[in-house]
Amino acid sequence: MGRYSLTAIIGFLLLLAGCVTTGELKSISTSAGEDLLASVEKARVPDAQFVGQVKVIGPTLGFFPVNVQSDVVIQSPDRVHWAVRSFFGQPTHLLVVDGENGSWLDLISEGGPVLYTSRPKYFLQTIFGLESLDIEDFIWLWWGLLPQHQWEIQEALTNVKLKIHVLFLLDQKGRKWQVTLNANKMIQQVKVSWGETLLWTLEYEEFKTEKEITYPTKMKWQIAMEDQGPIRFHLEEGSVHEPTIAKEAFRPPDIPGVEIRPWIQGGF
């Protein structure tokens, strides 16, 4: 079982608790770590759907308007309908994903609407700055669950005083995941790295329980880019118990005469 340096552990405690005197992180058994992993890899509900209004707050990479409302539909395992409205309520952009097919419709482009097509992960990377994140990962993290990968537990730690648990995981793609669980064994923070490079951090700030289903209502993505501030996804209204929306809603709209362009990884 791998070991993380004392400096990294102390740094983690300083970040989380403000000082190291509130307790110590101690290793726990492999079986206990597997139980913790199972608690955040809960059984997925087929065709689970979230419908809500979301505001994206903070800087993005220049392609996504911020501080405006979005009407969002997320269906597991791999469908997203994200419609952005202007301050005055008019539609401006639309992101739709259905499996490996994705499109980004810009309704306010100079010269008329433009429809960009590409693989969904490139939209997550370029629009939100979420490097190395697949659409399935994005959806399950939105539900407050860990994606289903071939995990290797490198280390499992616990802090009795703070009532937290920390899992250091390696997925089949070689990415390192540092997952912090709260006293209720729900994800509190996720950090993802590639090698020694931190890609992004996700923090869950608020949860809502509805008919025995608990899901995040407020979260913050911190992407690891120079001079790039945090991106906050603020759920203002939402429900997991809406009628299932037809799959046609996750396909590009048919607009006569719309210009279609390929979305180039890393930008237009």
C-alpha to C-alpha distance for 168 and 33, rounded to whole angstroms:
10
Per-residue confidence of the chain (268 residues) as pLDDT tens digits? Answer: 444 444 444 444 444 444 344 568 899 998 999 999 998 887 676 667 888 888 887 765 556 666 778 899 998 889 999 999 888 888 899 999 999 999 999 998 888 899 999 999 888 888 777 777 888 888 889 888 898 899 999 999 999 888 899 999 999 999 999 999 999 889 999 999 999 888 889 999 888 887 777 888 888 888 766 666 677 788 777 777 778 888 899 998 888 889 999 986 544 3
Between the alpha carbon of residue 133 and those of residues 101, 120, 136, 141, the distances in Å are 15, 9, 8, 10
Q: What SS3 class is residue 204?
A: strand
Between the alpha carbon of residue 145 and those of residues 19, 71, 204, the distances in Å are 28, 22, 11
Contacts for 21 with CB less than 8 Å, ≥ 6 apart: none
Residue (of 43, 35, 37) closest to 213 by Cα position: 43
C-alpha to C-alpha distance for 41 and 149, rounded to whole angstroms:
9
Look at residue 152 in the predicted model and tell me its pLDDT.
Answer: 96
Domain ranges for the chain: 6-43+141-239, 61-139+243-262
CA angle 148-150-155, nearest 5°?
Answer: 100
Contacts for 111 with CB less than 8 Å, ≥ 6 apart: 259
Would you say 185 and 33 are in contact if contact means Cβ atoms under 8 Å apart? no
Between the alpha carbon of residue 175 and those of residues 97, 144, 168, 178, 231, the distances in Å are 24, 19, 11, 10, 22
The DSSP bridge pattern shows strands 213-223 and 79-85 to be unpaired
Would you say 245 and 81 are in contact if contact means Cβ atoms under 8 Å apart? yes
